């Protein structure tokens, strides 16, 4: 396969001014990242600072309810509460090894911005995070977190003042200062080498699952399930198992409300081929190629595209993709809270919901692993009016 392509998807559909920093990054990815020194240093950071390996945990109560083994890969237990930090620690360390003192990022809901600001603080890098002005107001709490961590948060006032405008601003800032700045992309999206770089930093999730499952259950999982926004937690757990054809790989997209005519974030299930943020992939667009607004109850899945490697895995048939609606995710969220004492992120709740909705077609005794990509504390503001509106104060 051509470098940077997954089946027909991927590539580098970018303005010429972006090619020099992309080429420099590709070289660093190929020379620095695989070196023993880099891997040892990153391994220690992930162990001592992030808290890896994250537990692989068999849910006692739900496994009994369902008649098969439900295992959770507990990325919610990482420092900062989600899988995103695996990638930002990797890219921040790479920034240092490339001799650059500054890291920038774009963020929508703020989770990737916080994870980048965290890694930057820890590794003593200057950090600037671009965020649409609408989002800085909606997510004021995360703006304060980034500022506490020493990052400069720049509110982007152009366009719809949301994620895509923040992305454009970050790209412009990278072009302007590529000598001293690394642009930290937050998922397996954008132009090559980013989808590969982010996947490689997240693939520790799947490597740990293989080892833990072998030790704790004596074999490989039968089914692996992960939610797909940009697709980084899913690629992180899938990658190790792509050659293991006995393992069924299931990506779960956010179907939104499910009402006819309403927007969703199900870019593989419902999208068509097009170019978004520098790569050819599946995305939600109108017939004349305008990107459609996306919607999901979970901010982290609310993205009109998906990583090109997922489009490729869908095309080849190696992985399957399904959608789950807001109300199903909300119900799975509550079930995991009540039955297992774990408050999951609304994103991760989509993966749990797919398992619950398909329980009758999963063979008894199967080993099903759900990537629990993050914890749900951040979602209290969303679930509160939905779940407690009948309670009089």
Dist. CA 306–CA 282, nearest whole Å: 6
The mark string for 228-267 relative to ligand PLP (x by CB under 6 A, - otherwise) is xxxxxx----------------------------------
Dist. CA 183–CA 175, nearest whole Å: 10
Q: Which residues pair with 56 in a beta bridge?
A: 73
- Report the 10 Å Cβ neighbour count for 49: 16
Q: Minimum distance from CB of 178 to ligand PLP (Å)?
A: 25
Q: What is the CA radius of gyration of the chain?
A: 20
Element (H, E) at 28: helix 19-31
* Of the candidate residues 187, 285, 296, 349, the single one contacting ligand PLP (CB under 6 A): 187
Q: Minimum distance from CB of 269 to ligand PLP (Å)?
A: 14
If one asks whether residue 374 binds ligand PLP (CB under 6 A), the answer comes out as: yes
If one asks whether residue 347 binds ligand PLP (CB under 6 A), the answer comes out as: yes
Dist. CA 234–CA 193, nearest whole Å: 18
CB 211 within 8 A of CB 221: no
Task: Tell me whether residue 100 or residue 295 sits nearer to ligand PLP (CB atom).
Answer: 295
Question: Shortest Cβ contact with ligand PLP: which residue?
Answer: 374
Sign of torsion over alpha carbons 82, 83, 89, 94? negative
Task: Tell me whether residue 4 or residue 236 sits nearer to ligand PLP (CB atom).
Answer: 236
Task: Tell me whether residue 178 or residue 191 sits nearer to ligand PLP (CB atom).
Answer: 191
Task: Tell me whether residue 100 or residue 239 sits nearer to ligand PLP (CB atom).
Answer: 239
Backbone angles phi, psi at 299, to 5 degrees: -60, -35
If one asks whether residue 305 binds ligand PLP (CB under 6 A), the answer comes out as: no
Query: Among 380, 383, 376, which residue's Cα sits nearest to residue 327?
Result: 383
CB 102 within 8 A of CB 183: no
Specify the DSSP class assigned to residue 235.
H
Specify the DSSP class assigned to residue 48.
I
Dist. CA 175–CA 194, nearest whole Å: 16
CA angle 190/193/195 to nearest 5° reads 50
- Please count the residues of the chain: 393
Q: Minimum distance from CB of 380 to ligand PLP (Å)?
A: 14
Task: Tell me whether residue 68 or residue 284 sits nearer to ligand PLP (CB atom).
Answer: 284
CA angle 66/351/196 to nearest 5° reads 140
CB 308 within 8 A of CB 279: yes
Task: Tell me whether residue 228 or residue 280 sits nearer to ligand PLP (CB atom).
Answer: 228
Looking at 133-141, 209-217, 270-278, 345-353, which segment touches ligand PLP (CB under 6 A)? Answer: 345-353
The mark string for 195-234 relative to ligand PLP (x by CB under 6 A, - otherwise) is --------------------------------xxxxxxx-
* Of the candidate residues 78, 86, 111, 267, the single one contacting ligand PLP (CB under 6 A): 111
In the sheet that holds 223-227, the strands lie side by side as 56-58, 69-74, 367-372, 223-227, 248-254, 319-324
Site residue total, ligand PLP (CB under 6 A): 18
Please name the residues in contact with 310: beta carbons below 8 A apart, sequence gap of 6 or more. Answer: 188, 228, 231, 234, 235, 251, 268, 281, 282, 319, 321
Q: Minimum distance from CB of 64 to ligand PLP (Å)?
A: 26
Task: Tell me whether residue 12 or residue 348 sits nearer to ligand PLP (CB atom).
Answer: 348
If one asks whether residue 348 binds ligand PLP (CB under 6 A), the answer comes out as: yes
If one asks whether residue 80 binds ligand PLP (CB under 6 A), the answer comes out as: no
Dist. CA 108–CA 135, nearest whole Å: 6
* Of the candidate residues 28, 204, 373, 379, the single one contacting ligand PLP (CB under 6 A): 373
* Of the candidate residues 122, 125, 129, 345, the single one contacting ligand PLP (CB under 6 A): 345
Q: Minimum distance from CB of 194 to ligand PLP (Å)?
A: 12
Task: Tell me whether residue 100 or residue 112 sits nearer to ligand PLP (CB atom).
Answer: 112
If one asks whether residue 162 binds ligand PLP (CB under 6 A), the answer comes out as: no
If one asks whether residue 84 binds ligand PLP (CB under 6 A), the answer comes out as: yes
Q: Which residues are catalytic?
A: 59, 83
Chain residues binding ligand PLP by CB under 6 A are 82, 84, 111, 187, 227-233, 300-301, 345, 347-348, 373-374
């Amino acid at each position: 396969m051509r470098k940077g392509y997954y089946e027909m998807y991927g590539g580098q559909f970018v303005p010429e001014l972006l090619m020099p920093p992309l080429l420099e990054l590709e070289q660093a990815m190929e020379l620095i990242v695989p070196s023993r020194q880099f891997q040892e240093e990153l391994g220690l950071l992930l162990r001592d600072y992030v808290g890896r390996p994250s537990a692989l945990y068999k849910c006692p109560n739900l496994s009994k309810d369902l008649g098969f083994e439900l295992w959770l890969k507990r990325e919610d237990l990482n420092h900062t509460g989600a899988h995103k930090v695996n990638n930002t620690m990797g890219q921040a360390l790479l920034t240092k090894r490339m001799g650059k003192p500054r890291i920038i990022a774009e963020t929508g809901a703020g989770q990737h911005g916080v994870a980048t600001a965290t890694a930057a603080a820890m590794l003593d890098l200057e950090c600037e995070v671009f965020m649409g002005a609408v989002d800085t107001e909606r997510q004021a709490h995360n703006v304060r977190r980034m500022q506490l961590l020493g990052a400069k948060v720049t509110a982007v006032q152009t366009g719809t003042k949301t994620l895509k405008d923040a992305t454009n601003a970050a790209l412009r800032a990278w072009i302007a200062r590529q000598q001293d700045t690394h642009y930290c992309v937050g998922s397996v999206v954008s132009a090559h080498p980013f989808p590969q770089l982010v996947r490689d930093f997240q693939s520790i999730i799947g490597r740990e699952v293989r080892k833990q499952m072998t030790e704790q259950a004596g074999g490989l999982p039968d089914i692996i399930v992960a939610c797909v926004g940009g697709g980084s937690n899913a690629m992180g757990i899938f990658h190790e198992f792509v050659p293991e054809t006995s393992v069924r790989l299931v990506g779960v997209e956010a179907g939104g409300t499910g009402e006819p005519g309403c927007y969703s974030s199900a870019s593989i299930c419902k999208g068509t081929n097009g170019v978004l943020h520098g790569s050819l992939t599946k995305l939600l667009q109108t017939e004349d190629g305008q990107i459609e607004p996306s919607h999901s109850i979970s901010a982290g899945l609310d993205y009109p595209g998906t990583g090109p490697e997922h489009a490729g895995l869908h095309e080849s048939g190696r992985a399957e993709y399904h959608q789950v609606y807001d109300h199903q995710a909300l119900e799975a969220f509550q079930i995991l809270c009540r039955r297992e004492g774990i408050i999951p992120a609304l994103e991760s709740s989509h993966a749990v919901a797919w398992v619950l909705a398909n329980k009758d077609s999963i063979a008894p005794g199967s080993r099903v692993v759900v990537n629990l990509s993050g914890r749900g504390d951040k979602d209290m503001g969303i679930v509160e009016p939905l779940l407690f509106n009948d309670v009089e104060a």
